[in-house]
Amino acid sequence: MKQFFLALSLIFVFIPSFVQAQKTTCVVDKRFHDFGKIKEDGGKVKAIYTFKNTGNADLLIIKAEPSCGCTVGEWTKEAIAPGKTGTVTAIFDPKNMVGIIDKSIGVYTNAVYASIIVLEMRGEVLPRDKTMDDIFPYRVGNLMFDKELVELGDVPHNKFDSAYVVMFNDGQYPIKINNISPLPDGYRIRPAKYVIEPNEEVRLYASVDGNKLNDFGPFNKNFRLYTDDPDYSEKPLFMFGSVKYNFGTLSKKELKSAPKLSLDKSENDFGEQPIGSVVNTAFKITNYGKNDLVILSIKNQCSCTDATSDKKILKKGESATINVKFDLLGHAGNIQKNITIYTNDPKNSMVDILVRAKLY
pLDDT tens sequence across 299-351: 998 899 999 999 999 999 999 999 999 999 988 899 999 999 999 999 999 99
pLDDT confidence bin for 213, thresholds 50/70/90: confident
**Helices then strands, each counted (H, E), the chain:** 3, 27
Residues with Cβ within 8 Å of 134's Cβ and at least 6 positions away in sequence, in order, are: none
- Asked if residue 118 and residue 32 are part of one domain, the reply reads yes
pLDDT of 270 strictly over 70: yes
Report how far residue 97's alpha carbon sits from residue 94's, in angstroms, rounded to the nearest whole number. 5
Residue at 190 is within a domain: yes
pLDDT of 204 strictly over 60: yes
Domain ends where: 222, 244, 266?
A: 244
Q: Which amino acid is at 228?
A: D
- Asked if residue 315 and residue 281 are part of one domain, the reply reads yes
Task: Say if CB 144 and CB 132 are below 8 A apart.
Answer: yes
Torsion angle (degrees, nearest 10) of CA 74, 79, 85, 88: 10
Parallel, antiparallel, or unpaired: how do β-strands 85-92 and 149-156 relate?
unpaired
Task: Say if CB 136 and CB 146 are below 8 A apart.
Answer: yes
pLDDT of 7 strictly over 50: no
Residue at 249 is within a domain: no
- Asked if residue 143 and residue 232 are part of one domain, the reply reads yes
- Asked if residue 148 and residue 88 are part of one domain, the reply reads no
Range of the structural domain that residue 99 is part of: 24-126
- Asked if residue 152 and residue 222 are part of one domain, the reply reads yes
pLDDT of 130 strictly over 80: yes
Q: What is the pLDDT of residue 21?
A: 54
- Asked if residue 113 and residue 41 are part of one domain, the reply reads yes
Q: What is the pLDDT of residue 10?
A: 46
- Asked if residue 230 and residue 137 are part of one domain, the reply reads yes
* Edge-to-edge strands, sheet with 61-66: 32-39, 116-126, 99-109, 61-66
Name the phi and psi angles at 98, rounded to 5. Answer: -60, 135
* Edge-to-edge strands, sheet with 293-300: 267-273, 350-359, 334-343, 293-300, 313-314
Most trustworthy range by pLDDT among 67-71, 195-199, 249-253:
195-199
Task: Say if CB 187 and CB 208 are below 8 A apart.
Answer: yes
**Which string of DSSP letters, residue by residue, matches 218-285?**
EEEEEEEEEE--SS--EEEEEEEEEEE-------HHHHHTS--EEES-SEEEEEEE-TT-EEEEEEEE
Q: Which amino acid is at 219?
A: F
Q: What is the pLDDT of residue 69?
A: 66
| Cα maximum dimension of the chain | 116
- Asked if residue 263 and residue 240 are part of one domain, the reply reads no
pLDDT of 8 strictly over 60: no
Name the phi and psi angles at 186, rounded to 5. Answer: 105, -15
- Asked if residue 233 and residue 138 are part of one domain, the reply reads yes
Domain ends where: 215, 244, 273?
A: 244
Cα 35–Cα 41–Cα 46 angle in degrees, nearest 5: 35
* Single pTM value for the model: 0.66
Residue at 204 is within a domain: yes
Residue at 150 is within a domain: yes
Counting the structural domains of the chain, the total is 3
Q: What is the pLDDT of residue 1?
A: 47
Residue at 333 is within a domain: yes
Q: What percentage of residues in the chain have a pLDDT greater than 90? A: 82
- The CATH number for 277's domain is 2.60.40.10
Task: Say if CB 327 and CB 318 are below 8 A apart.
Answer: no
Residue at 271 is within a domain: yes
Task: Say if CB 140 and CB 148 are below 8 A apart.
Answer: no
- Asked if residue 200 and residue 144 are part of one domain, the reply reads yes
- Asked if residue 233 and residue 155 are part of one domain, the reply reads yes
Q: Which residues pair with 334 in a beta bridge?
A: 358
237: closest CA among 292, 303, 305, 190? 190
pLDDT of 170 strictly over 90: yes
Query: In whole numbers, what is the pLDDT of the chain averaged over residues?
Result: 91
* Edge-to-edge strands, sheet with 175-180: 149-156, 234-244, 217-227, 175-180, 195-196
Residue at 83 is within a domain: yes
Residue 262's CB: how many other CB atoms inside 10 A?
A: 14
Domain ends where: 126, 159, 177?
A: 126
pLDDT of 166 strictly over 70: yes
- Asked if residue 165 and residue 105 are part of one domain, the reply reads no
C-alpha 168 chain-centroid distance: 28
pLDDT digits (tens, 9 = 90+) for 25-82: 999 999 999 999 999 989 999 999 999 999 999 999 999 988 876 677 789 999 999 9
Residue at 6 is within a domain: no
Q: What is the pLDDT of residue 353?
A: 96
Name the phi and psi angles at 210, rounded to 5. Answer: -60, -25
Mean of pLDDT values over 250-265:
94
Residues with Cβ within 8 Å of 254's Cβ and at least 6 positions away in sequence, in order, are: none
C-alpha 94 chain-centroid distance: 21
pLDDT digits (tens, 9 = 90+) for 95-108: 889 999 999 999 99
pLDDT of 182 strictly over 90: yes
Q: What is the pLDDT of residue 13?
A: 46
